[in-house]
Structure 1
Amino acid sequence: MIEISLGKMVLLALIALIVLGPEKLPAAARTAGALMRRVRSGWDNVRAEVERELEIEEIRRTARDAAARAEAVQNELKDGLTKVHEPLGQVVAEVKAPVAAESAQALESTEVPEEPGASMQAELPLGEPPEKPAGGSPHEHN
């Protein structure tokens, strides 16, 4: 803003008194005061708006920097996980290969047993109930 010292203000007041005269000077002073308030208010509003914009830009810049750092950390974590997963995948593959081969050999060498009772059902003719064994069981009561 413009800085006006006390000496400059007195000089301006004397010039205004000479130019305007004592009748118009109070009205001119009020008008000048109102004009100065408007100018100062407008200047303060512009300054506040610029400061808000600068703060917003600073926040955006900080957010972009934080996002870039987060992405860099995420990429480092992915790289680290990849470095860990590759050897583990190889170990798992090496362990699974012999186990799968042994399982396949075990399945080929053994026959799959039939379900219990499947052979009995196949021997019975349809519609006839199974016969009771001769002699009965000791738990049977007549």
Structure 2
Amino acid sequence: MIDISLTKLLLLAVVALIVLGPERLPHAARTAGALLRRMRSGWDSVRAEVEREIQAEEIKRTLRETAENARATHDSVREDIRAAGAGIRETGEQVRHTFTETQVARTEPREPDPALDMLPLKNDSHDRT
């Protein structure tokens, strides 16, 4: 704040004593003290209000950043879910296509193929006695 040294304070007291006189000096000092207290109280009040406003702005900024991060995360998760859904749909189409081909192959007549139609024989040498 204001830097007042001891010599400046003494000089101010001497000038006030000369100008006001010894009768009015105590009253003037009390009035000056009361004004200083009011000014300091007002200044402290203003400073506290400014600090509250700054804190409120910081909280609002933090909330905005958090909301933006949450929105970005939400969008990312939504995109991942869409991609997974597309993969599931594609797999479903492949399964459906394979199933349809299998059903068609079973219903179409074909020539017998021994390699496909016969089961392999087991080599059961221990069963023979």
> TM-score scaled by structure 1?
0.65
Counterpart-to-counterpart distance in 1, 2:36 and 2:100? 92
Deviations 1:36-89 (A, max 9, x none): 000000000001000100000011001101110111111111111111110111
- Counterpart for residue 6 of structure 1: 6
Counterpart-to-counterpart distance in 2, 1:27 and 1:100? 108
Deviation at 1:10, TM superposition (A): 1.1
Deviation at 1:4, TM superposition (A): 2.0
More helix by share: 2
In the alignment of these two chains, the number of paired residues is 103
Runs of 4+ in structure 1 deviating by more than 3 angstroms, as ranges, are: 96-103
- Counterpart for residue 49 of structure 1: 49
1:70 aligns with 2:42: no
Counterpart-to-counterpart distance in 1, 2:57 and 2:38? 28
Q: Aligned AA for 1:50?
A: V
Stretches of structure 2 lacking an aligned partner (at least 5 in a row):
104-129
Q: Aligned AA for 2:42?
A: G
- Counterpart for residue 114 of structure 1: none
Stretches of structure 1 lacking an aligned partner (at least 5 in a row):
104-142
Deviation at 1:95, TM superposition (A): 2.7
3-state SS in 2 of match to 1:4 = coil
After TM superposition, the structure 1 stretch with the greater mean CA deviation from structure 2, 80-89 or 28-37, is 80-89
> TM-score scaled by structure 2?
0.71
- Counterpart for residue 86 of structure 1: 86
Deviations 1:10-57 (A, max 9, x none): 111111001000000000000000000000000000010001000000
- Counterpart for residue 135 of structure 1: none
Q: Aligned AA for 1:69?
A: N
- Counterpart for residue 124 of structure 2: none
Give matches, 1:1-142, under 5 Å.
1-96=1-96
